[in-house]
Structure formats: C-alpha cells, structure tokens
C-alpha cells in the first residue's frame, strides 16, 4: 500500500530560523515524491519534486530511500513561507497522487 505520513500538524518558528518539514512514505517500489504548498486563499501548487533536484524559494528536499523519507528543509525561514505544506507520492505506473495530511507552517516576525 502507498502511504505518506507527515508526523507534525503544526510548526511555528521565528523568521530566520531553519525549518524542516518531515515526510515519510511507505511504498515497495520506486516512488516519485513531491512537495505541494497552499498559501492562504490560494490554490494548491507544486513546490518541488525529487527528480528535479532543484531548490525552489530556498527549499530543498532529498529523497532518502533507506529511511523512506523526503523531508523539506530551508535554512532561513521567511514570513512569506507561512502556508500549508503537503508531501505527496506517486507510485511507478500510477497516475494518482497520494498525499499526506499536511502541515501548517507559521513563520513569526
């Protein structure tokens, strides 16, 4: 079965602090992992995907197959990073995304 777990529902940090949003997955094959973000009153949008290996808005995420994790990290959080973050998985040969339950990040001034 495919499952995505985001163990924390809420994270509150101060501006400039490092953040790490945890994501663990369960899948027997080679998955594709994504982070989606939803800012207040905006639609859900892709933040980054592991195959791109790029940094978006200062965020990075590394797929660790040994630990089955895809944690999202940013060294210095900004107030505009406050949003809901969803980790998602797509299994090989599958088209649907399996999402975690999301985590709300609040960056305080």
Partner 1 sequence: GAGVSQSPSNKVTEKGKDVELRCDPISGHTALYWYRQSLGQGLEFLIYFQGNSAPDKSGLPSDRFSAERTGGSVSTLTIQRTQQEDSAVYLCASSSIYRDLTDTQYFGPGTRLTVL
Binding residues for partner 1, rule: CB under 8 A, are 43-46, 49, 86, 88, 95-102
In angstroms, what is the minimal distance from the CB of 32 to partner 1? 9
The residues, ordered by sequence, that sit 6+ positions from 42 with a Cβ below 8 Å of its Cβ are none
For residue 85, the minimal CB distance to partner 1 (Å) is 12
Cβ contact 26:1 at 8 Å: yes
**38 vs 60, which CB is nearer to partner 1?**
38
Closer by beta carbon to partner 1, 4 or else 107: 4
Residue 66 sits at φ, ψ, to 5 deg, of -65, -40
Q: Which is nearer to partner 1, 19 or 88 (CB)?
A: 88
CA dist., res. 57 & res. 79, Å (int): 12
Do residues 84 and 37 lie in contact, with contact meaning Cβ atoms separated by under 8 Å? Answer: yes
Task: Give the nearest distance from C-beta 2 to partner 1 in angstroms.
Answer: 10
């Amino acid at each position: 079965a495919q499952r995505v777990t985001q163990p924390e529902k809420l994270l509150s940090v101060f501006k400039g602090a490092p953040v790490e949003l945890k994501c663990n997955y369960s899948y027997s094959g080679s998955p594709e992992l994504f982070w989606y973000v939803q800012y207040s009153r905006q639609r859900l949008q892709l933040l980054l995907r592991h195959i791109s290996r790029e940094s978006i808005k200062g965020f990075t995420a590394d797929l660790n197959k040994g630990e089955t994790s895809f944690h999202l990290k940013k060294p210095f959080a900004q107030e505009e990073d406050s949003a809901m973050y969803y980790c998602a998985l797509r299994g090989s040969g599958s088209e649907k995304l399996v999402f975690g339950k999301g985590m709300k990040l609040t960056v305080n001034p």
